[in-house]
A and B are shown apart, each in its own frame.
Chain A
Amino acid sequence: EAEVAQSPRYKITEKSQAVAFWCDPISGHATLYWYRQILGQGPELLVQFQDESVVDDSQLPKDRFSAERLKGVDSTLKIQPAELGDSAMYLCASQGSLTGNTEAFFGQGTRLTVV
């Protein structure tokens, strides 16, 4: 069964260091999302891609966060420098089409701990 792949599953980093997460969406899915889920809260959208273009990054802290999807397939989310408050689960999701209310499929997430 096709699934969204994320790596690493867990990451511990020291504050002020750089960290990167990778996501490979379901093959053929044009829309890709990065969400951040702080412990005890619901996920919040950080950035949305349609193919290689950013559709919505209004909630992305652009002074330290960056995201790219250069070939419109897999995507990387980077944090530099990491802060203690960035500790959270980072979820990637992909969707086949923006029309017809198709389902968004989520990966297992990367749990980041900043120490």
Chain B
Amino acid sequence: GNSVTQMEGPVTLSEEAFLTINCTYTATGYPSLFWYVQYPGEGLQLLLKATKADDKGSNKGFEATYRKETTSFHLEKGSVQVSDSAVYFCARLTGGGNKLTFGTGTQLKVEL
């Protein structure tokens, strides 16, 4: 089926450390892929997206590359900050109605 699998958390890093959150998807074809971020007590915000293979989405220092050969869309950031502490969701479009299918979320904690 159409699903999204992301690494379990929580991920705890020191400030300025390198971040990778893995995400893989199952699909037929090449769905649009997204990373959403959810800060404590808030709704989801789109962080970045990629709509076709080999696209790289980037925003606020975060990057993710759509890799069709490994069906992956890993999220990376070179130097995390305490303010990046949040839950990160990988998602894909499913079906013709633009429904989003989300992964289970990865909590990131960044400490001083």
Contact for A43 among B42, B95, B102, CB less than 8 A: B102
Query: How many B residues are at the interface, by size bracket?
Result: 20 to 34
* Of A31, A40, A45, A106, the contact of B44 (CB 8 Å cutoff): A106
Is B83 an interface residue when CB atoms closer than 8 A count as contact? no
CA–CA, A41 to B44, complex, Å?
13
Within A19-44, which residues are at the interface with B (CB < 8 Å)? Answer: 31, 33, 40-44
Over the window 86-111 of chain B, the binary record of Cβ atoms lying under 8 Å from chain A Cβ atoms (1 yes, 0 no) is 00010101010111101111000000
- Given A101-B32, A101-B49, A101-B93, A43 and B44 touching (CB < 8 A)? yes
Question: Contact string, B12-55, partner A, CB cutoff 8 A, digits 1/0?
Answer: 00000000000000000000100010000111111001010000
Chain B residues whose CB sits within 8 angstroms of the CB of A40 once the complex forms: 104-105
Task: Say whether A103 faces chain B, with CB atoms less than 8 Å apart.
Answer: yes
A14 at the interface (CB under 8 A from B): no
Shortest distance in angstroms between B45's beta carbon and chain A's nearest beta carbon? 7
B99-A48 in contact (CB<8A): yes
Specify which of A31, A95, A98, A108 is in contact with B43 (CB 8 Å cutoff): A108
How long is the Cα–Cα vector from A91 to B38 in the complex, in angstroms? 12
Do A56 and B99 touch across chains, with their CB atoms under 8 A apart? yes
The docked-state distance in angstroms from the alpha carbon of A42 to that of B23 is: 13
CB-based contact A98/B98 at 8 Å: yes
CA distance A45 to B49 in the complex (A): 19
Q: CB-nearest residue of chain A relative to B90?
A: A42
Nearest-neighbour CB distance to chain B for A44, whole angstroms, equals: 7
Contact call B97/A55, Cβ cutoff below 8 A:
yes
**A positions within 8 Å CB-CB of B:** 4, 6, 31, 33, 40-45, 48, 55-56, 91, 93, 95, 98, 101, 103-109
Q: 4 tightest CB-CB pairs across the interface, nearest first?
A: A42-B102, A106-B43, A106-B44, A108-B43
27 contacts between A and B (CB under 8 A): A4-B43, A31-B98, A42-B4, A42-B102, A42-B104, A45-B99, A45-B100, A48-B99, A56-B95, A56-B99, A91-B43, A91-B44, A93-B44, A95-B98, A98-B97, A98-B98, A101-B51, A103-B49, A104-B46, A104-B98, A104-B100, A106-B44, A108-B41, A108-B42, A108-B43, A109-B42, A109-B43
